[in-house]
Amino acid sequence: MNGIIGSFRIGEDVSVALDALTGDPATVTAISARMKPAKVTANRIVLDDSAAAIAMQVAAQGSAGWIATLSHTATAGLTPGIYGIDARLTIGGAVEMTEQTGFIALTLAAVA
């Protein structure tokens, strides 16, 4: 995937669903998600490898998967732009990464 899955305003909560497309979410013993600035290179959105990652909170969403969130106070200090979100899951001692990065846009509100 190389499209933007959502758009949020600077200073509002970011909330993104991490759906379990295969396997049993109950077998996941740990999960973390991080967000990182992205950039456009050769008409593709890619993560900015030189940028620091921002830790997100992750909560279960029943048997469907999880919700990754970043609070409005955390987004208030970010620069408008495109950001990528990835998750890291521990299943039976093995570490799995999300297969695709989800990209979101952070924009300024017309009224600040």
- Residue indicated by tokens 């001692």: 93
> What number of other Cβ atoms are within 10 A of residue 9's Cβ?
18
Give the strand pairing for 102-107 and 4-9. parallel
**Average pLDDT per run of 10 along the chain, which is 112 residues long?**
84 92 82 94 90 95 89 95 93 83 92 70
DSSP reduced 3-state for 91:
strand
pLDDT number for residue 112: 62
- Residue indicated by tokens 């297969």: 99
4-31: pLDDT as tens digits: 999 999 999 999 998 887 777 888 889 9
> What number of other Cβ atoms are within 10 A of residue 10's Cβ?
17
Domain 4-107, CATH homologous superfamily name and number: Immunoglobulins (2.60.40.10)
49 vs 14: CA distance, rounded Å: 21
Cα-Cα-Cα-Cα torsion 93, 84, 18, 96, nearest 10 degrees, comes to -20
> What number of other Cβ atoms are within 10 A of residue 54's Cβ?
18
Task: Flag whether the pTM goes above 0.85.
Answer: yes
pLDDT number for residue 1: 46
Spell out the domain ranges in the chain.
Answer: 4-107
pLDDT number for residue 97: 80
Give the phi and the psi of residue 93 in degrees, each rounded to 5.
85, -15
pLDDT number for residue 2: 61
